[in-house]
Amino acid sequence: MQTLTVDLGDRSYPIHIGAGLLGRPELILPHLAQKRVVVVTNTTVGPLYLARLSGVLEAGGIAVENVVLPDGEAYKNWETLNLIFDALLIRRAERRTTLIALGGGVIGDMTGFAAACYQRGMPFIQIPTTLLSQVDSSVGGKTGINHPLGKNMIGAFYQPKLVLADTDTLKTLPARELSAGLAEVIKYGLIWDAEFLGWLEANMDKLHALDPAAISHAIHRSCEIKAQVVAQDEREGGIRAILNLGHTFGHAIETGMGYGNWLHGEAVAAGMVLAAQVSQHLGWLAEADVVRTRALIRAAGLPDTAPDLGLDTWLDYMGHDKKVEGGKLRFVLLKKLGEAVVTGDVPAEVLAGVLTAPH
């Protein structure tokens, strides 16, 4: 097991990464304020891992209840969130009861938001079971739900007490979902660490095969970068925005294509290619850098071409982005491979050219 810390003063918390961690209640018990938890999961992950988690916690003297939600990005909304509140109220959960998110980013984001709101805040723990949630969404405290007009538009910054990433859970993850997680892993290389990008190019086959050493390294390095950025800028006043490389475009794709049709990681992958192309037009990336980025994204099993939303739809959905300031779009772009920059200075014709060019 490897352990990292997200350093946020008295709200700091550990990220444990390794195989077999679901069977280790001693990693969870010290973080409970009360011998009672409510596990939130979904109809896919519940049958796979809920009995195991509940069993080890109950053996440790913890009362375990659960809420099983419908599965899918299309359910990341108020109606589903309310099912969590219903269950907490019906079971008379208290302010010191811990909410545990067992699932991917959809479950993690909704559970975290429910924890932020219920009785104005109850503790919560992230047990991410997708690659995407292990490298990104479970860390850093962004929680929330979608709105029909915009992705992740309603939410809160609310940090978990613990992140427990059991790499064994990835063995049941569909290949398409593994690829979606690799998009966020590639993101860390592009924005922060060119050497890691090279490592990813050399090890992509091992990652697809879930080679234990390779997958652990990818998760560890990703979380290390994310923890470092979040510790500097928890509420995204500045540098944290670079973690959104490809997301302005990606969120427009997710919303425009209908939640769940393009996976978040797929939309981010195509969005990172668009960001690389804009960066090339601004003279920062060479054509060879864009070719290299696209090749890595394809090798990860991800789309390197965005759907044609039409310029008006692109601009409309991107206008809801959380980075918009004074009505002006801001983009995360690449100064070079391994170095990101946030800018509002993208000429309209460059943006339009990239969004409407045949890819």
Residues annotated as catalytic (active site), given as ranges: 120, 142, 184, 226, 236, 240, 244, 247, 251, 264
Residue 240 interacting partner from ligand NAD, ligand GLY, none (CB closer than 5 to 8 Å by kind): ligand GLY
Q: Which one, 32 or 184, has the nearer CB to ligand GLY?
A: 184
Q: Which one, 97 or 138, has the nearer CB to ligand GLY?
A: 138
Residue 173 interacting partner from ligand GLY, ligand NAD, none (CB closer than 5 to 8 Å by kind): ligand NAD
> Nearest residue by C-beta to ligand GLY?
243
C-alpha–C-alpha distance, residues 191 and 341, integer Å: 8
C-alpha–C-alpha distance, residues 300 and 126, integer Å: 26
Residues 83-122, one symbol each (x = binds ligand NAD by CB under 6 A, - = not), give: --------------------xxxxx-x-------------
Site residues for ligand NAD, 235-274, by CB under 6 A, read 264-265
Residue 152 interacting partner from ligand NAD, ligand GLY, none (CB closer than 5 to 8 Å by kind): ligand NAD
Under DSSP, the state recorded for 99 is E
Residues contributing to the site for ligand GLY (CB under 6 A): 136, 140, 142, 240, 243-244
Least gap, CB of 240 to ligand NAD (angstroms): 10
Q: Which one, 136 or 266, has the nearer CB to ligand GLY?
A: 136
Residue 266 interacting partner from ligand NAD, ligand GLY, none (CB closer than 5 to 8 Å by kind): none
Least gap, CB of 25 to ligand GLY (angstroms): 28
Query: CA-based diameter of the chain, in Å?
Result: 63
C-alpha–C-alpha distance, residues 32 and 122, integer Å: 11
In single-letter form, the type of residue at position 287 comes to: E
C-alpha–C-alpha distance, residues 82 and 40, integer Å: 12
Q: Which one, 263 or 285, has the nearer CB to ligand NAD?
A: 263
CA neighbor of 105 nearest in space, from 68, 151, 153, 72 = 72
SS3 of 154, please? strand
Site residues for ligand NAD, 139-168, by CB under 6 A, read 140, 142, 152
SS3 of 37, please? strand
Least gap, CB of 184 to ligand GLY (angstroms): 7
Under DSSP, the state recorded for 47 is I
Least gap, CB of 144 to ligand NAD (angstroms): 7
Cβ contact 39:67 at 8 Å: yes
Q: Where are the alpha helices (DSSP H) in 193-308?
A: 194-208, 212-232, 247-257, 264-281, 287-299
Least gap, CB of 181 to ligand NAD (angstroms): 6
Give the residues across from 242 on adjacent strands: none
308: left (phi over 0), alpha (psi -120 to 50) or beta: beta
Q: Which one, 244 or 280, has the nearer CB to ligand GLY?
A: 244
Of the CA atoms within 13 Å of residue 194, those in its CB half-sphere come to 9
Q: How many residues bind ligand NAD, per CB under 6 A?
A: 29
Residue 76 interacting partner from ligand NAD, ligand GLY, none (CB closer than 5 to 8 Å by kind): ligand NAD
All residues at 6 or more sequence positions from 355 whose CB lies less than 8 Å from its CB, including other chains: 274, 306, 309, 311, 314
How far lies 95's CA from each of 44, 121, 125, 144, 256, in Å? 28, 7, 14, 20, 38
Least gap, CB of 83 to ligand NAD (angstroms): 16
Cβ contact 1:17 at 8 Å: yes
Residues 44-63, one symbol each (x = binds ligand NAD by CB under 6 A, - = not), give: xx--x---------------
Under the rule (CB under 6 A), what is the footprint of ligand NAD? 42, 44-45, 48, 71, 73, 76, 103-107, 109, 129-130, 132-133, 136-137, 140, 142, 152, 169, 172-173, 177, 180, 264-265
